[in-house]
Structure formats: C-alpha cells, structure tokens
C-alpha cells in the first residue's frame, strides 16, 4: 500500500486517539508515524477479509481417481484474537479423502491464510477451514487440527506462557470412521 494511501486510512486517526488515551504524546518523535504504521499493519494482518475462495482456487480443482488421504501439515498460522486484538500463532494440519476431485496442494495453505488473516477465535477458524475445503471439492471427508499459542493467555489474564490450544473439526469420513480419524491424527502427530 502506498504511503499516501495509508496516511488517508481512517484507522490512523483512531490509533492517534488511542495513543493519547493511553497517556502518550502522539506528536513525540518515536510516535509520529505510529498511527500510519499501525493502520498499515492492521490492514496487512486482516487481509483475509478481501480474499475469496473462488479466487484462491483459481480453477485448481482437478478430476482424479485418487481416493487415499491427502494431508498438508504444519501450515503456519498468524491471526488476531477477536476478543483482545492480540496475536495467536501456531500450525494447522488439513486433510481430505478425495471423491474423484483433488485441489492443488498450494491451495490448502491459501485457504488457511484466508481465514486466519481475520479477527478470529481458533474454534471458528478450524471450522471455516474444514467447510471451505469441503465446499471446494466435496470430498468424502475433511479433517482439520490447529495447535496455537495465544498471547491473550500469555501476556495478560492467566499469563501461562507454555499453554497451547488444540482444536479440531472432522467432517464426513473423518467424523464417522474412527480408522480414518486415527490415521489422520497419527500422521500429524496428534493423539486419537
């Protein structure tokens, strides 16, 4: 984003007011450009709102006779907790069992990115990723596991630095077939 466009961003004056409300002087040397930087940063961190599943897929769905599990694991996640606007980071593991259709492997991390780059709660993020994969290719099943550390639990509140939240969403065969679920959890290093 060009600097001139960012300076006109309606978030910048809000950040300036926030700094003043915190007791800071937004005109002091170190903070003069902070409102512009924060506005630019927030736009980047929440760019998922401007993403669309159809654009992400970009015709990368293919007919294929494959019927074995496809897993993309250890996909980095960077998101903002919608309750405190503090970051949470971790990894997503996404799997599906095709039903005569597959999706380009790079599209899975792009789907994760689309939903993680919004104000989120981990539980909803997990569900949104699973539903998007299901909508994209209508597989026999989808499994998503996310493990993340939340700064809202580390820096404030309970202040537990080593805590990790783990969420899962199982659709189709991953929900109905314990063997499919166990295979997926084993491949991503989670316990069944």
User: In the sheet where 119-120 sits, what is the strand order?
Assistant: 119-120, 70-81, 87-97, 141-150, 165-172
Catalytic residue among 113, 120, 128, 150: 150
The two beta strands, 101-103 and 61-63, are antiparallel
Is residue 82 annotated as a catalytic residue, yes or no?
yes
Which helix (DSSP H) or strand (DSSP E) does residue 18 occupy? helix 11-21
User: How many CA atoms lie within 13 Å of 80's alpha carbon, on the beta-carbon side?
Assistant: 16
Catalytic residue among 83, 123, 135, 161: 83
Tell me the chain's radius of gyration from C-alpha atoms: 20
Nearest by Cα to 166 from 154, 189, 149: 149
The span from the CA of 69 to the CA of 139, in Å, is 10
Q: Provide the 10 A C-beta neighbour count for residue 133.
A: 28
Is residue 138 annotated as a catalytic residue, yes or no?
no
The span from the CA of 1 to the CA of 6, in Å, is 7
Catalytic residue among 7, 64, 76, 82: 82
Catalytic residue among 40, 93, 113, 122: 122
Is residue 169 annotated as a catalytic residue, yes or no?
no
Is residue 113 annotated as a catalytic residue, yes or no?
no
Is residue 66 annotated as a catalytic residue, yes or no?
no
Is residue 93 annotated as a catalytic residue, yes or no?
no
Task: List beta partners, residue 28.
Answer: none
Would you name the residues annotated as active-site residues? Answer: 81-84, 122, 150, 152
């Amino acid at each position: 984003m060009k600097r001139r466009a960012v300076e006109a961003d309606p978030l910048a004056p809000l950040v300036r007011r926030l700094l003043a409300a915190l007791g800071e002087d937004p005109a002091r040397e170190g903070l003069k450009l902070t409102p512009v930087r924060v506005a630019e940063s927030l736009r980047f961190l929440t760019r998922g709102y401007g993403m669309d599943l159809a654009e992400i897929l970009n015709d990368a769905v293919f007919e294929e006779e494959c019927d074995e599990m496809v897993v993309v694991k250890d996909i980095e996640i960077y998101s903002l907790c919608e309750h405190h606007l503090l970051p949470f980071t971790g990894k997503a593991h996404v799997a599906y069992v095709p039903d005569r259709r597959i999706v380009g492997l790079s599209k899975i991390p792009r789907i994760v990115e689309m939903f993680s780059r919004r104000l989120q709660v981990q539980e909803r993020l997990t569900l949104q990723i699973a539903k998007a994969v299901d909508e994209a290719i209508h597989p026999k099943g989808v499994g998503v596991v996310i493990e993340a550390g939340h700064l809202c639990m580390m820096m404030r509140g309970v202040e537990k630095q080593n805590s990790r939240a783990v969420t899962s969403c199982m659709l189709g065969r991953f929900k109905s077939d314990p063997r499919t679920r166990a295979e997926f959890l084993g491949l991503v290093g989670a316990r069944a």
